[in-house]
């Protein structure tokens, strides 16, 4: 735990590839009860996840693990504590799935394969199959079994259900919800965070534009982008929630990056809004942060209330 009570913390982190930053000055804590990272394709979710896994070094700022800079943490211990769950396509197509799971276990614990398969709701007899001989949902369960092999404290799940149909998706989400490990969940589907994450952060163009308790965010978005995301996909399993037809509009390079797509933009939005506490002590505003000059107006919009 860091002194702020989080498992992992990004502190004013800027991340990029080569010299090009794609995530800008993000501060974010992974606390208990599940944390969601939401945003459309290209918003920087996977890039942040890679930094939290120690796979990408920040251009500036720090990733902290238990009050220690991740750069200085023993990576062998860290890999036992923090495990990624990526999409099932990452499984080796030639390898029997039992062996895939066995490879994630310490050598003297390989007898635990049937137990792990059962833990994720799979018949241990499926261990002899190759990935293409399983359904999409079964493959995703194998990926989760692999991650659980080392009894991690935290799972970092990148779109764990986006390739699955709605009913299978719901069953995998139930499985994830029942696991003991904490979770950082990356998704473009707001319905998924509603089910699994106590806290959520909305990313737009590599910046956190809104944060807070997920239930409050969904009930009363304070950023026009969160509002567009919520209203684009009201239920589990729908299309990716982008403001349809406008996602191709490039973010602004100066001022508020969402301005070119924002139905509420005003002259003031030429100035970049800082992430700030949502003022007042009204219901649903505790722990809420937003980067929008017009957040209070967004909250007053009848369409923002649900």
Ligand X SMILES: Nc1ncnc2c1ncn2[C@@H]1O[C@H](COP(=O)(O)OP(=O)(O)OP(=O)(O)O)[C@@H](O)[C@H]1O
Note the residues at the interface with ligand X (CB under 6 A): 17, 22, 39, 41-47, 188
- Shortest distance (Å) from residue 122 CB to ligand X: 27
Instruction: For 241, list phi and psi in degrees, rounded to 5.
Output: -85, 80
- Rounded CA-CA distance 8/28 in Å is 9
Please identify, using beta-carbon distances, which residue of 39 and 137 lies nearer to ligand X: 39
- Shortest distance (Å) from residue 20 CB to ligand X: 7
- Shortest distance (Å) from residue 193 CB to ligand X: 14
Task: Please check whether residue 225 is in contact with residue 291, taking contact to mean a CB–CB distance below 8 angstroms.
Answer: no
Q: Quick one: DSSP state of residue 43?
A: S
Please identify, using beta-carbon distances, which residue of 89 and 123 lies nearer to ligand X: 89
Please identify, using beta-carbon distances, which residue of 34 and 39 lies nearer to ligand X: 39
Q: Which two tokens stand for residue 120?
A: 């994720």
Q: Which two tokens stand for residue 198?
A: 């106590």
3-state secondary structure of 184: strand
- Shortest distance (Å) from residue 156 CB to ligand X: 12
Hey, which residues does 64 pair with through a beta bridge? 9, 69
- Shortest distance (Å) from residue 70 CB to ligand X: 18
Q: Can you tell me which residue has the tokens 């969940």?
A: 185
Task: Please check whether residue 89 is in contact with residue 163, taking contact to mean a CB–CB distance below 8 angstroms.
Answer: yes
Please identify, using beta-carbon distances, which residue of 188 and 288 lies nearer to ligand X: 188
Please identify, using beta-carbon distances, which residue of 39 and 136 lies nearer to ligand X: 39
Please identify, using beta-carbon distances, which residue of 39 and 224 lies nearer to ligand X: 39
- Shortest distance (Å) from residue 79 CB to ligand X: 21
> In 105-253, which residue ranges form alpha helices assigned H by DSSP?
113-119, 136-148, 166-177, 190-196, 214-219, 224-232
Q: What is the DSSP string of 61-125?
A: EEEEETTEEGGGS-HHHHHHHEEEE--GGGS-TTS-HHHHHHHHS-GGGGGGHHHHHHHTT--GG
Rounded to a whole number, what is the distance in angstroms from the first to the last CA of the chain?
Answer: 35
Please identify, using beta-carbon distances, which residue of 43 and 285 lies nearer to ligand X: 43
- Shortest distance (Å) from residue 165 CB to ligand X: 19
């Amino acid at each position: 735990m860091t002194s702020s009570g989080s498992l992992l913390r990004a502190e004013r982190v800027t991340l990029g590839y080569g010299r090009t930053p794609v995530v800008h000055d993000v501060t974010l804590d992974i606390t208990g009860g599940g944390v969601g990272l939401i945003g459309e394709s290209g918003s920087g979710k996977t890039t942040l996840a890679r930094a939290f896994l120690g796979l990408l070094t920040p251009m500036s700022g720090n990733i902290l693990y238990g009050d220690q800079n991740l750069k200085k943490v023993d990576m062998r211990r860290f890999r036992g504590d923090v495990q990624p769950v990526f999409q099932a396509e990452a499984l080796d197509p030639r390898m029997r799935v039992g062996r895939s799971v066995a490879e994630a276990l310490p050598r003297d614990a390989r007898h635990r394969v049937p137990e792990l398969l059962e833990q994720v709701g799979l018949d241990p007899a499926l261990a002899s199959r190759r990935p293409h001989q399983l359904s999409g949902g079964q493959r995703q369960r194998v990926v989760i079994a692999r991650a659980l092999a080392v009894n991690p404290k935290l799972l970092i799940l990148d779109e764990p259900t986006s390739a699955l149909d709605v009913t299978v998706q719901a069953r995998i989400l139930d499985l994830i919800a029942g696991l003991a490990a904490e979770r950082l969940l990356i998704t473009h589907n707001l319905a998924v965070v509603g089910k699994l994450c106590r806290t959520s952060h909305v990313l737009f163009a590599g910046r956190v534009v809104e944060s807070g308790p997920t239930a409050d965010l969904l009930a009363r978005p304070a950023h026009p982008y969160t509002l567009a995301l919520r209203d684009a996909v009201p239920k589990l399993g729908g299309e990716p929630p982008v403001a349809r037809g406008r996602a191709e509009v490039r973010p602004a390079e100066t001022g508020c990056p969402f301005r070119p797509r924002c139905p509420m933009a005003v002259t003031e939005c030429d100035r970049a809004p800082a992430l700030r506490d949502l003022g007042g002590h009204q219901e649903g505003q505790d722990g809420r942060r937003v980067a929008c000059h017009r957040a209070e107006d967004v909250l007053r919009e009848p369409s923002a209330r649900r």
